[in-house]
């Protein structure tokens, strides 16, 4: 076998070095990925570099548990909930898509060798190696660097060369399709929009998770407060039963009064058990949102706050809230990015309705090095469907999809306005319910106190006292429900305007 000349080896080494240097690494792709909204891009990831929240011991049916307020609860949810961690993976997936699109512009190295002997002589001895480097530029240019050596007695004359071989350097263009948009450019342009789409999707799912967690939190607080009201009723009935029992034993009251007092205790104990069941179920559902930083369900050992502070809602205005929702709701941002991607597909389909013309020009050198140009090699190739049915079909499909997304945007805007209006109505009516419930509690307390005084002086019956106490308890429960509805409606307003995560930004959350 004939040995390789030193010049051929030098060219081969240079081609390998060029392909290695020009290759794009995943880290470069991530650095070049377009930034999403500035606030979100600067925000650290929810579960990154966050100190674990210590779990204090809790003893005895929630009495010695630390109080869990809403901001602390939501912060824990966003720090370690698996759904939030799953959303984080979308960032890496978007970067991978950009990397994949950039891979279409990576240099390609093609090398081959074929050798055949017959009767001790070289019949075929062909070496070919080359690098093609496409550029993301108009006209779709590609740099071509080739080395070829063809020897042997039976070699095709078009492939045969001298012992030193031949080196060619040139350029390939696609002037018709590449002048506007080609498939590789379209794929990269769509991939560059992926981080913005993923960002909007993460914000949408995060806001939904926060709303669900907030509703579960207020349901837990409401159930705990109503359980406490039932416990107060039972304590009153128990004290009165003991008092009446002593009076019956001393002959100061009829035996039927003791039976009636015992019945009231039994009824209130049954209602307390039902309230405890509701509170425990609400606690179980709330605990499902809490996870440890290592991905395990967290033990729930917290007590609800003693009261719920009503949010300040005097500054809420419909027009301002609607404008905020239009700019902050992630659904609109996600559809806007999707529309841009579809428009790229539409432009690509239109560009593909032109003939695919490929031009190639190369300078060829033989013996004195690659820079010593001896000949020029040019050529062209044209490929064209006769009817362009596929490309016209793709263009029509992309046009219809763009129109469909435009309609979805209009529908989403209207739905967002309806969400804001409905949330404001709920908030306004819940405020009115609180005022009415407060008046009801005031009057029910007055009736209860008056009925107790009448009972103590013998002018009323145990039945009426129990009725007044039940009415007062119902009024208190109604006030609790009304206050919870105000807080729940305010959370709904925050979700409808896309600002539900704003107060959580100190723990490293994106808020846009």
Mean pLDDT score, 251-266? 85
Distance between CA atoms of 80 and 292, rounded to whole angstroms?
A: 6
pLDDT at 489: 93
Sequence-distant contacts of 50-56: CB under 8 A, at least 24 apart: 50/79, 50/293, 50/507, 50/508, 52/292, 52/293, 53/79, 55/298, 55/299, 55/301, 56/301
pLDDT in tens, 320-352: 999 999 999 999 999 999 999 999 988 888 877
- CB–CB of 109/131 below 8 Å? yes
Q: Of 136-150, 395-409, 463-477, give the lowest mean pLDDT range.
A: 136-150
Q: Of 265 and 507, which is predicted with more confidence? A: 265
Which residues, in sequence order, are bridge partners of residue 356? 383
Per-residue pLDDT, 123: 83
Least confident of 38-42, 249-253, 341-345: 38-42
Q: What is the mean pLDDT of the chain?
A: 81
d(CA 237, CA 264): 6
Q: What is the pLDDT of residues 393-426, one digit of tens each?
A: 888 888 899 999 999 999 999 999 999 999 999 9
pLDDT confidence of 10, banded at 50, 70, 90? Answer: low
Query: Please, are residues 197 and 189 in contact by the beta-carbon 8 Å criterion?
Result: no
What phi, psi does 441 have (nearest 5°)?
-65, -40
Segment 450-461, tens digit of pLDDT: 998 998 888 888
Task: Say how far apart CA 321 and CA 137 lie, in whole Å.
Answer: 44
Instruction: Please answer whether residues 85 and 62 qualify as being in contact, where contact means their C-beta atoms are separated by less than 8 angstroms.
Output: no
For the chain, the domains span 1-32+108-134+140-173+356-387
Q: Concatenate the DSSP letters of all residues of 446-508 into one string.
A: HHHHHHHHHHHTTSS-HHHHHHHHHHHHHHHHHHHHHHHHHHHHHHHHHHHHT-TTGGGGGGS
Is the pLDDT confidence value at 294 over 50? yes
79 Cβ contact list (under 8 Å, min separation 6): 46, 47, 50, 53, 293, 507
Q: What is the pLDDT of residue 295?
A: 79
Order of strands, edge to edge, in the sheet holding 356-365?
Answer: 108-118, 121-134, 142-151, 166-173, 356-365, 375-383
Task: Please state the rounded mean pLDDT for residues 376-393.
Answer: 81
If DSSP codes are grouped into helix, strand and coil, which group holds residue 292? coil
Give exposure, 425-456, as e/b (b: 16+ Cβ within 10 Å).
ebbeebbebbeebeebbeebeebbeebbeebe
Res. 314: pLDDT tops 80: no
- Give yes or no for residue 56 having a pLDDT over 60: no
* Nearest residue to 306 (alpha-carbon basis) of 12, 494, 67, 95: 67
User: What residues form DSSP beta bridges with 19?
Assistant: none
Q: 63-77, 257-271, 422-436: lowest mean pLDDT where?
A: 63-77
Half-sphere exposure of 92 (CA within 13 A, CB side): 6
Q: Give yes or no for a contact between 111 and 132, defined as CB atoms under 8 angstroms apart.
A: no
% of the chain surpassing 90 pLDDT? 37
Q: What average pLDDT does range 211-224 have in this prediction?
A: 94
Listed in sequence order, the DSSP H helices in 352-388 are none
pLDDT of amino acid 45: 40
Q: For residues 114 and 124, is the Cβ–Cβ distance under 8 A?
A: yes
Residue that wins the pLDDT comparison between 470 and 156 = 470
Q: Give residue 43's pLDDT.
A: 36
pTM over 0.85: no
Query: Has residue 504 got a pLDDT over 70?
Result: yes
**pLDDT for residue 39 is more than 80:** no
Tokens of 167: 């080196």
Q: Comparing 34-43, 90-99, 355-364, which segment has the lowest mean pLDDT? A: 34-43
Burial class (CB in 10 A: 0-12, 13-18, 19+), 395: buried
Question: Does residue 22 surpass a pLDDT of 50?
Answer: no
The predicted pLDDT at position 364 comes to 82
pLDDT at 371: 61
């Amino acid at each position: 076998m004939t040995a390789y000349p030193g010049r051929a080896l030098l060219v081969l080494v240079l081609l390998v070095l060029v392909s290695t240097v020009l290759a794009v690494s995943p880290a470069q792709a991530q650095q070049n990925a377009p930034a999403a909204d500035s606030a979100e891009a600067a925000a650290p990831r929810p579960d990154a570099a966050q100190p674990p929240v210590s779990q204090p011991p809790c003893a005895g049916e929630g009495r010695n548990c630390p109080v869990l307020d809403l901001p602390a609860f939501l912060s824990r949810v966003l720090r370690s909930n698996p759904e939030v961690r799953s959303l984080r993976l979308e960032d890496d997936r978007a970067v991978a898509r950009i990397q994949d699109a950039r891979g279409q512009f990576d240099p390609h190295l093609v090398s081959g060798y074929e050798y055949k002997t017959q009767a001790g002589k070289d019949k075929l001895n062909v070496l070919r190696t080359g690098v093609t480097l496409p550029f993301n530029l108009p006209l779709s240019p590609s740099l071509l660097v080739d080395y070829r050596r063809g020897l042997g007695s039976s070699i095709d004359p078009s492939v045969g060369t001298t012992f030193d071989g031949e080196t060619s350097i040139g350029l390939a263009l696609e002037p018709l399709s590449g002048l506007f948009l080609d498939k590789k450019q379209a794929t990269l342009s769509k991939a560059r929009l992926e981080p913005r789409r993923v960002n909007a999707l993460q914000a949408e799912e995060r806001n939904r998770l926060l709303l669900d967690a907030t509703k579960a939190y207020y349901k837990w607080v409401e159930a705990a407060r109503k359980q406490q009201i039932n416990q107060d009723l039972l304590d009153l009935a128990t004290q009165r039963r003991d008092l009446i029992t002593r009076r019956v034993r001393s002959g100061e009251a009829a035996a039927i009064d003791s039976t009636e007092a015992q019945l009231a205790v039994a009824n209130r104990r049954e209602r307390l058990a039902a309230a405890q069941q509701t509170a425990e179920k609400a606690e179980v559902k709330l605990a499902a949102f809490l996870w440890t930083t290592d991905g395990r369900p967290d033990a729930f050992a917290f007590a609800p706050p003693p009261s719920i502070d009503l949010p300040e809602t005097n500054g809420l205005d419909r027009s301002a809230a609607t404008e905020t929702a239009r700019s902050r709701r992630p659904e609109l941002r996600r559809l806007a990015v999707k529309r841009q991607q579809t428009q790229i597909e539409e432009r690509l389909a239109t560009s593909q309705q032109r003939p695919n013309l490929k031009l190639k020009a190369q300078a060829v050198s033989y013996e004195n090095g690659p820079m010593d140009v001896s000949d020029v090699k040019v050529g062209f190739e044209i490929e064209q469907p006769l009817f362009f049915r596929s490309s016209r079909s793709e263009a029509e499909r992309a046009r219809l999809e763009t129109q469909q997304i435009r309609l979805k945007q209009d529908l989403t805007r209207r739905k967002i306005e309806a969400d804001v209006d409905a949330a404001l109505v709920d908030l306004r009516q819940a405020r009115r319910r609180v005022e009415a419930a407060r008046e009801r509690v005031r009057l029910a307390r007055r009736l209860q106190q008056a009925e107790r005084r009448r009972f103590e002086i013998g002018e009323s019956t145990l039945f009426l006292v129990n009725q007044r106490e039940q009415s007062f308890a119902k009024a208190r429960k109604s006030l609790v429900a009304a206050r919870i509805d105000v807080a729940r409606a305010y959370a709904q307003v925050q979700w409808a305007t896309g600002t539900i995560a704003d107060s959580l930004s100190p723990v490293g959350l994106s808020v846009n």
